[in-house]
Every structure is written in C-alpha cells, then in structure tokens.
Chains A and B, each alone.
Chain A
Amino acid sequence: MDAPARTGASNAEKGASRATDKQRTSWTAWWVAYAQAAPMALVFLLFFILPLLATFVVSFWNYTEYSIEPAFVTTNYQDVFYGCVARLPGLCTTFATYLSTLKFVAIVWAATLAIGFTIAYFLAFHVRTLPMQIALFMVCTIPFWTSNVIRMISWIPLLGRNGLVNEILLSVGLISSPLEWLLYSDFAVALALVHLYTLFMVVPIFNSMMRIDRSLIEAAYDGGASGWQTLTNVIIPLVKPGILIGSIFVVTIVTGDYLTIGIMGGQQIASVGKVIQTQINFLQFPIAAANAIVLLAVVLLTIWGMLRLVDIRKEL
C-alpha cells in the first residue's frame, strides 16, 4: 500500500537535499524562492494575520454603546461564558449554541461522508473511461454555478407549508394536513447543509481514489477478498487522507455557518455566527471579537483533533 507514499517521500527527500546543497541547484539565487512566496505571504499578513491579531487585541477592550476603548479586561470572555458554570447542569447560551452547532456538524458530516463517498466511489471505480469520469464530475459541480444563497433559498418553495412537497403528499393522500417540520426546522437546516457541502467531500475522496493503484484491488481479489473486504481493508484505508480533507472542509464550514442556519431555520436556531453578527450590529465589537476568538479556538481544536486521527503528511 505504500508504493505511492514511498515515491512521494523519496521525492521530498530529493527536494530537501537539493535545498540544502546550494551548489547543485540552478542559477537561481537563494532569495528567489522567498520573493516568489512573498506576494502571497504579504496578502496573508495584511488580510489574515493582521485582522486576526486586531480581533484578538480588541477582544480584551472595553466598550460602550458608541465607542470601544483600549484596555485589558477579560469581561468580554466572562460575558461569552456568562452563566455557564452557575447554571449547570442547565446550558448557558454559549454552550447551548455550540451544542446545537455540534449536532449539525455530526449530522452533516455523517450524511456528506456517506453520500460523498458513494458518489466518489461510483465515479472512480464504476465509470470506466476518463472522459466519462470528467464529464460526470463536471455534472456534480453544476449546482456550484449559482450562489449558495440561491441554492438554499430554492428549497423554500419546495418545503413550505404550501410548498411542492406538501402539495404532492396532500394530493396523493399520504398526509391530511401539511407537514410543518419540513421548513424552518432542524431537518431543513441539515438538508440544506448536506446539499450545499457534499461536493466538498466528493472532490478530495475522488482525488484519493483516483490515485489508488488498480493492481492493489486486483491483488485483493486474487487473494480471495470479497467486495466488502476490499472496500474496508484496501480502499477505505487508502482514501483516509481524502476523507480527512473533506471532513475538515465540512466540519469547519458548518461550525462557522450562520446564513444557512438562519435562512432554513427561520432564525429560530442559534449559531455562533449569528450571535457575533447581532453583537456587531449593536456595535459591541469587543464581545463579538471574544466570541470570534472562541469560535476560532474551537475550530482549530477540532482540526487538530482530526489531524491526530490521520497523519495527513505521511499519507499524501
């Protein structure tokens, strides 16, 4: 199973030795690589690192209705976790919000993984020719030609009280009154999130599957493995990095999402993003910043945990 991994490693070694031994490289000066990386690094510094630092700094500031004042106070963080200890075993706003988010993360992750893996498997192993694979893959991306808000909103006429689904069910006689839980509910949120983000699972898994040496599968068959055994013992271990990358996409996007939860949940379901938005709208920047830092920490922690499960560098 390590054949592609080994080539990868040896390439990396070659690269490393080349970098250390300046004499054997081309005429390029040592600083050229830095110069090439500089524009992107600068963009990152200006538009990612600096704002992030500012957010972190501001999260310790004081604020009033109309101003924010430099200070070093931890009241914003105390406010974020207001009542979280006192109210136990009841849930404070922040814990309840994160718990609700976690629920969606779990549902959406499981659903996108199941659907994404199936689609990628079909594309990679059942479709025989490359042009057909590319064509079908393109078909998967067609929904992405419209904005995600449009894709989300298009569910509303389908799922509403007087929507298409309810009307069909009513006319067929399966139900006698419209189903209320189709829209503005947990179900609607999960459905829209799965719809929006399955492709983020398909792409990396498909990519990993395409890199599997077919002779490995033949060898498994020759060794007498059943289809299921091949899947669990050969394919799944080999596409782990793809699954992990897809999972990181889905988990981080769902954790920070508030548009989908807002629109499909009828704004009745809490999300961290919405809390932050409300606070920003009322000019409470420092507490919004504190919330953003907490959210960032949660996301980073999740990714760290996921990376512990699969050593992505080794596998790629």
Chain B
Amino acid sequence: MTDSRIKPAGVSRRTILKGSAALAGVAAAGKLSAFPTPAIAQEPVTLRYLSTAVNQSPAIAEKAGEELGINIEYIAVTTDDVAKRVITQPNSFDLVDTEYFALPKLLPSGNIMGLDASKIKLSDKIASVIRNGTVDGKKVGLDGTAPSEVLYLPAEQATEFAGEETGFLTLIPTTYNADTLGIRPDLIDGEVSSWASLLDPKFAGKAAILNIPSIGIMDAAMAIEARGDMTYGDKGNMTREEIDATIAALIEAKNNGQFRAFWTDFNESVNLMASGEVVIQSMWSPAVTAVRTQGIPCKYQPLKEGYRAWASGFGLPVTIADREKDAAYEFINWFLSGWAGAHLAKQGYYPAVLETTKEAMEPYEWAYWFEGQPAEQDIHAPDGKLLEEAGAVRDGGSYDERMGAVACWNAVMDENIYMIRKWNEFIAA
C-alpha cells in the first residue's frame, strides 16, 4: 500500500512510459530495463507471468519447470494493475493471465496479440460456456462482457473483435467461476434465496458490497432487479439513466445504514465475514473457503436470479520474442493438458478443458467439485488442508447447475467513466 502523496509520481511515471513524445528518452530507459536478456539456446527459457496473486500457484510453476524445462517467473499485482501494466508496459511480461472483461480496454491499445488456435492442441475442447456461452447446450445469461463475445480476433494482430469464430483467440481460459453472495448461516434467521437480500433492511448494518465499481454496481443491479424496482437492458452495460437509478438506490441504502463496510481486497471480505461484522455480502469463492478453513460456517448461497460470472485467461504481449512465444504456446498447451486444471479445480475454480481435468482428478474429487455429489471422502485443498469432510456437497451443486445459472458477466461498461464518477458520489454520500 502506498501513501497517497506518492501517487502523483506513480501516475507520471506510467504516463511517461505510455509514450509522451516529449519524454521519449525516459520511455527508452524504461524499455531498456525490461528488455529480455539475450537468449542462449541451451539455457531454460524464462516466462514472466503477469497476473493477480490468486492465480499464481507455486506448485504450477514448479511442475512446469520439471515437465517442460520452462522457468516461470511470477509477477503478482492486483486485478487493476494487470490491466494497467498491459496498457502501459507491454514489454514487462511474456504471458498475462487477465480477465476477459478487461479486453475491451486492453485490445484497442494494440498491446496484446491473438493466440493461434491451430497451435493450441485442445482449442476445440475449451469449455462451451467460454466458446459460445452455452452449458450443456443451453444458453446462459450473456449480460456484461461475456467471454464468448470477446474471444475471437480477425487476425493475430487486431484492435477489434471478430464477430464470429475465427482461428485467433484473445485469451485462452485459465480459470472461471460463478460468483454469488456469501452468508453466515449461523447468524441469519431464515432462508436467503434472492439477490434482493443484499439490500434487505433485515440485514441493515450487517451487509457489505465490493468497492470495485465495475463489479459492485453489477451486484447492486442484481439486487435492485431482484427487488422488482427496475429491469435492466444489460446489467453489464447500463445506460446513464440506469446508472443514475442504481446509484440513487445505493445511496438510499447507505444512508439507511444498510452497509457495515465495503471491501476491495479479498482478505478484507474474509475478515468481515469471519469476525461477524457482516453476515451477507458479495464474495468470491476462495474467500468463502478461507472463512470455512477457520472453522466458521460460511455458505456460498445459490440465488434464484443466478450468478455473476467471471473468466480469466492467458494472453500474449505483441512485444514477445520468438523463443518466449514458442515457450508460451508450449506452456499453455501443458496448462490445458490436465494437471494444472485439476490443481486449480481443487481450489474451487473451473478449468478451461473439463475432459483433461477429469482425467487428472480422483473420481471422488471430480464427483464433489463438478457433479454436485456428496463427497465420498474428505476433500482436501491442493496443499493438503482439509476443506470439507466426507458427505459435504458443494454449494450450488454441479458445474452444469452453477455455470448454467449464470445471469451476467463481469464487465466494463461503455459509460464506464460516467459510472465511476457516480460511484465516487455514492462513496461520498
């Protein structure tokens, strides 16, 4: 965390790197320091892997090193910083794992290039929910920036999406999931079955939402629509009137003392829930797991209006060198081949290719995580920690039930700038 007074310096440094012509000299210096070291054929190739810390499992890097001889060097930053680095410093990484909803921002910058589907062995096995927005043949909600809408590019280097299926993919999925509300069943009377509960005065002073505007406003929209106040054309791409109405409803709730706190960091949501300050809040799946491993009951409550989904995937910077590019394809192919998918699935994420993941998991693990079956044996996290005892059932059930009930996807709106201004108004209210 940095002091606010340091911020202006940060802005300007990035600004300079962004390519102000007047300050080109400094930009050149920035490039020099990030220049890949000259490749010597015999040395193992190093891939600088940019993503959030949540996606960076040391075990995956280790396994890739053993099996491929590729050295994975993690660069861990926050979700917002991933996008910032792609746009301002594309030469500071070789592989980026970023969310699909960032693509409408990233692609026009011309800093990422498409992945050639013909070089990805399992490209046609990628989960259908990502490829065409269907689960088990049925269409899911595509509000927001649905991956299927931003998956294809007309050519390797493009700054606009292709309307149809092509041979070039923007991102190869690493993880995706369906988010919902987390609750403390021990501190709540009665059932929670609708997003409307987030704004229910019954939970006044005991609810929390995310202070990440683009996601927080969608959770609010789910709640407002569920309450019957209004219907949105597209929750992930609101009109100014919809934004105004949503923020007005949020301000009213805030002034009535609905919210205990807002959170931006994964760990904050865990602490709010574990300490009992909050009994209902928008939450991410691993956070629910983190509360539970403390021995505190916490449920990832399925809701009748469905889930807000997100998906993250591998992209390549346009500045990548040939040797690194080959290694990146090799790594991605390995990533889809099973072991890595299973490793992530055991933390509650969904992997790109289900078939290979199934092969790499024990049958009882697959049954618990993907089929909604009661666990035959104790369920352990990849690091060996006990997650669930035998007999437990995954919240929300099977893959088809959870991903099939997706209502909207994390998004960046066309009116993003206006929305952030209104969001700041909400925080100041």
Contact = CB atoms under 8 A, between A and B. Distances in A.
Given A160-B276, A270-B428, A273-B4, 19 more contacts: A54-B15, A54-B16, A54-B23, A64-B108, A65-B105, A66-B105, A68-B18, A82-B421, A93-B428, A149-B1, A161-B276, A162-B275, A267-B263, A275-B428, A277-B7, A278-B423, A281-B84, A283-B87, A292-B11
A111 to B, nearest CB: 21
Interface stretch (B57-65, B146-154, B333-341, B412-420): B412-420
A93 B424 contact: yes
B373 interface: no
Interface in A166-225: 180, 183-184
A268 B261 contact: yes
Contact of B425 (A93, A267, A289, A296): A93
A180 B205 contact: yes
B5 interface: yes
B424 A52 contact: no
Contacts of B14: 285
Contacts of B18: 67-68
Contacts of A82: 421
Interface in B1-38: 1, 3-5, 7-16, 18, 20-23
A238 interface: no
Nearest to B15: A58
Nearest to A269: B427
Contact of B260 (A52, A97, A266, A275): A266
Interface in A272-316: 272-285, 288-289, 292, 296
A54 B27 CA distance: 14
A273 B3 CA distance: 9
A258 B423 CA distance: 17
A269 B355 CA distance: 48
B429 interface: yes
Contacts of B12: 50-52, 54-55, 58, 289
Interface size bucket, B side? 35 or more
B83 interface: yes
B109 interface: yes
Interface in B66-84: 80, 83-84
A285 B412 CA distance: 17
Interface in B264-295: 264, 271, 275-277
A272 B5 CA distance: 11
Q: From DSSP, what is the main secondary structure of chain B's interface residues? A: helix
A65 B424 contact: no
A45 B26 CA distance: 15
Given A97-B428, A268-B262, A277 B4 contact: yes
B397 interface: no
A281 B80 contact: yes
Nearest to A70: B20
28 contacts: A52-B8, A54-B15, A54-B16, A65-B417, A67-B18, A67-B109, A68-B18, A70-B21, A70-B22, A93-B428, A96-B428, A96-B429, A100-B428, A162-B275, A266-B260, A267-B263, A267-B264, A276-B4, A278-B424, A280-B10, A281-B80, A281-B84, A282-B420, A283-B83, A284-B420, A285-B15, A288-B7, A288-B11
Across the A-B interface, give the 6 residue pairs with the lowest CB-CB distance, nearest first.
A266-B261, A54-B12, A273-B4, A270-B428, A281-B80, A267-B262
Interface of B: 1, 3-5, 7-16, 18, 20-23, 80, 83-84, 87, 104-106, 108-109, 205, 208, 211, 213-214, 254, 259-264, 271, 275-277, 412, 416-417, 420-421, 423-425, 427-429
Interface of A: 47-48, 50-52, 54-55, 58, 64-68, 70, 79, 82, 93, 96-97, 100, 149, 156-157, 160-162, 180, 183-184, 256-259, 266-270, 272-285, 288-289, 292, 296
B108 to A, nearest CB: 5
A55 B261 contact: no
Given A66-B106, A267-B264, A257 B429 contact: no
Contacts of A292: 7-8, 11
A268 B105 contact: no
Contacts of B13: 51
Nearest to B204: A180
A269 B426 CA distance: 10
B427 A160 contact: no
Contacts of A66: 87, 105-106, 108-109
A258 B421 contact: no
A213 to B, nearest CB: 37
Contacts of A160: 275-277
A96 B251 CA distance: 14
A283 B108 contact: no
B424 A275 contact: yes
Contacts of A52: 8, 12
Contact of A47 (B9, B21, B263, B424): B9
A256 B5 contact: yes
A214 B281 CA distance: 61
B425 A65 contact: no
Contacts of A266: 208, 259-262
A235 B271 CA distance: 48
B166 to A, nearest CB: 22
Contacts of B416: 65, 282
A184 to B, nearest CB: 5
Contact of B11 (A58, A93, A268, A282): A58
